[in-house]
Chain A
Amino acid sequence: MDTRNLICISCPLGCPITVTLNGSGEIEKVEGYSCPRGEAYARKEVTNPTRIVTSTVRVLGAAKGDVMVSCKTKTDVPKGKIFDVIKGINGISVTAPVHIGDVILQNVAGTGVDIVATKEIR
């Protein structure tokens, strides 16, 4: 038996969650969450923790003088891949106009996840 105490990061409530693992490392029970998101987070966090990564890339030719456009991984990626993702978008630039949801880079760092824009740049 092994217990892991987590703080849920799914939303700003930050519920304290306890996950109990049995001898072979399988999840026995999850307690303390207050929504389905919390339970899903806790199960994932002890087996395969993931994060959405947000960053910025350069934008060229923006009408209002913007130089950066914000972006994110379209879905969460394994926690261990965060720095690979950041390396993957290093040095990239895009040309305006850019719309929210536009794919900036496909399959970043071999994760199968695209980088998408999160800001409108005219």
Chain B
Amino acid sequence: MENYDIVIIGGGPAGLAAAVSAYDAGARSILILERDKKLGGILEQCIHNGFGLHTFKEELTGPEYAQRYFDQVLERKIEYRLNTMVLDISAEKVITAMSRTDGLFEIQAGSVILAMGCRERSRGSLNIPGYRPAGIYTAGTAQRLVNMEGMMPGREVVILGSGDIGLIMARRMTLEGAKVKVVAELLPYSGGLRRNIVQCLDDYDIPLKLSHTVIDIEGKERVEGITIAEVDEKRRPIPGTEEHYTCDTLLLSVGLIPENELSRGMGVKINPVTNGPSVNESLETSIPGVFAAGNVLHVHDLVDFVSEEAASAGRNAAAYVQAGGNEEARHEVPVAAEGGPRYTVPVTIDPSRVPESLTVRFRVGDIIRNHFVSVYFDQDRVLHIKRPIMAPGEMEEVKLKKQFFDERPNLAKITIRVEEK
């Protein structure tokens, strides 16, 4: 069986950044396994700009951003295998994979970095009545068809869901000559970034109907029309508010789900809120030496933060193998979320393993205006940051300094609290 110190599952933005930082931290035996024919992951189809402002201080398109990391992987001569599907990972870190050229093979990893990303929720999870005609796509599938395959999924479009990919595709389909009639969002607020509402919908006069959903899909062979209706606070359609749109295409942008079949298979503990692994300060899962970063851990809005998080996972994996697979019991201080945040990443922190600054990321469950994000170490408030507006569609973060931990040797609990004062 082949052996590698670090095996990275997935060659998208998270996998590439993890590989580069693991190498820079001194690891040399690194392998990236990627199921597609190219590295870069979803960035390859995200041809719009706005990537990299945080990482590279310039505005790049998705493929340009991916190329920056790909070049870094090449410069370091980090090994990768394309067209390679990982089928299973055992709790002992034996990876079973297959490809057309190598057939079925196994690799023993010293450390594993999970970087499989996420996938889109599809119609099957929505309970929309009606036939199953052609013309219903997830926004990401439409994005791949238009931007990579050069095909238009349709001419008259209704979009359900206001996630970022849906907003981006509203603009993209419009530029390619389609008529996007409406974007309907079940919730009373958009799940996408504010800037995308402005530059993808407002710029093109595409209406966004909040608290609306699709209640009927017409057409047997091909979509012929869509009926939407307003919903009440319990998200039930309100009779009498139905509106009909003639269209040949319905795009769905209704959420992303971290892709954790492999993680579950190896017995990694999953956080039911994020659908990603529960991790500690080192982004290490419940199995020592198995790390997770990027959308497989929790769905991000910005690739820059995926890269940052994955770089940290890469460094930690390198440290783990350099320490000879240190599996001693961790000191775990729990991180609790109160008053707004739905979850935190990480969920526990070992004060002895905190870097100079540790980023804790979270999302709120509702739109919250003029509140403070506070961090309590036991009863002490160590951070108190005013936030004019927080929204579920925009990830929040706080940075905890090592000094906070050093000053409190008997720390028992960390609380991230959203509060009025």
Given A64-B37, A86-B175, A100-B67, the answer on whether A11 and B147 have CB atoms closer than 8 Å is no
CB pair A55–B47 under 8 Å, yes or no, is: yes
Query: Is B241 part of the contact surface with A, judged by Cβ < 8 Å?
Result: no
Given A7-B197, A12-B301, the answer on whether A68 and B49 have CB atoms closer than 8 Å is no
1/0 contact trace for A36-69 toward B, CB 8 Å? 0000000000000001111110100000101110
Query: Is A120 part of the contact surface with B, judged by Cβ < 8 Å?
Result: yes
B60, B63, B146, B388 — most chain A CB neighbours (10 Å): B63
A14, A64, A66 — most chain B CB neighbours (10 Å): A14
CA distance A55 to B203 in the complex (A): 16
How would you classify the secondary structure of chain B's contact residues: helix, strand, loop or mixed?
mixed
Q: Which residues of B157-203 have CB atoms within 8 Å of chain A's CB atoms?
A: 175-176, 193-195, 197-199, 203
CB pair B150–A67 under 8 Å, yes or no, is: yes
1/0 contact trace for B32-49 toward A, CB 8 Å? 000001100000100111
1/0 contact trace for B373-388 toward A, CB 8 Å? 0000000000000001
CA distance A9 to B167 in the complex (A): 14
CA distance A7 to B195 in the complex (A): 6
Which residues in B have their C-beta under 8 angstroms from that of A83?
A: 175
A33, chain B: closest CB distance, angstroms: 13
B79, chain A: closest CB distance, angstroms: 19
Which residues in A have their C-beta under 8 angstroms from that of B49?
A: 52, 54, 72
Which residues in A have their C-beta under 8 angstroms from that of B60?
A: 118
Interface size on B, residues (CB 8 A): 35
CA distance A22 to B126 in the complex (A): 50
CA distance A110 to B60 in the complex (A): 24
A97, chain B: closest CB distance, angstroms: 14
CB pair A12–B199 under 8 Å, yes or no, is: no
A interface bracket (residues with beta carbon within 8 Å of B):
20 to 34
Query: Is B350 part of the contact surface with A, judged by Cβ < 8 Å?
Result: no
Q: Which residues of B2-60 have CB atoms within 8 Å of chain A's CB atoms?
A: 37-38, 44, 47-50, 53-54, 59-60
CB pair A68–B149 under 8 Å, yes or no, is: yes
Q: Which residues of B125-164 have CB atoms within 8 Å of chain A's CB atoms?
A: 146-150
Contacting B203 at CB < 8 Å: which of A8, A51, A120?
A51
CA distance A72 to B61 in the complex (A): 8
Which residues in A have their C-beta under 8 angstroms from that of B389?
A: 16
Query: Is A81 part of the contact surface with B, judged by Cβ < 8 Å?
Result: no
Query: Is B88 part of the contact surface with A, judged by Cβ < 8 Å?
Result: no
Q: Closest residue to A64 on the B side, CB-wise?
A: B37
Query: Is B302 part of the contact surface with A, judged by Cβ < 8 Å?
Result: yes
A57, chain B: closest CB distance, angstroms: 9
Which residues in A have their C-beta under 8 angstroms from that of B37?
A: 64
CB pair A70–B61 under 8 Å, yes or no, is: yes
CA distance A80 to B290 in the complex (A): 51
Which residues in B have their C-beta under 8 angstroms from that of A11?
A: 50, 53-54, 195
Q: Closest residue to B70 on the A side, CB-wise?
A: A120
1/0 contact trace for B293-309 toward A, CB 8 Å? 00000000110000000
Q: Which residues of B315-333 have CB atoms within 8 Å of chain A's CB atoms?
A: none
CA distance A82 to B251 in the complex (A): 23
CA distance A53 to B61 in the complex (A): 11
Which residues in A have their C-beta under 8 angstroms from that of B388?
A: 16
Identify 9 new A-B residue pairs, CB closer than 8 A, beyond the known A56-B150, A67-B150, A70-B147. A9-B198, A11-B53, A12-B50, A12-B193, A52-B49, A64-B38, A67-B149, A70-B47, A83-B175
Query: A interface vs B, CB < 8 Å?
Result: 6-12, 14, 16, 51-56, 58, 64, 66-68, 70, 72, 79, 82-83, 86, 100, 118-120
A-B pairs with lowest CB-CB distance, top 6: A14-B194, A70-B47, A119-B63, A9-B195, A118-B61, A14-B195
Query: B interface vs A, CB < 8 Å?
Result: 37-38, 44, 47-50, 53-54, 59-64, 67, 146-150, 175-176, 193-195, 197-199, 203, 301-302, 388-389, 394
What are 28 A-B pairs with beta-carbon distances under 8 A? A7-B194, A7-B197, A8-B195, A11-B53, A11-B54, A12-B50, A12-B53, A12-B301, A14-B193, A16-B389, A53-B175, A54-B48, A54-B49, A55-B47, A55-B176, A67-B148, A67-B150, A68-B147, A68-B148, A70-B63, A83-B175, A86-B175, A86-B176, A118-B60, A118-B61, A119-B47, A119-B64, A120-B67
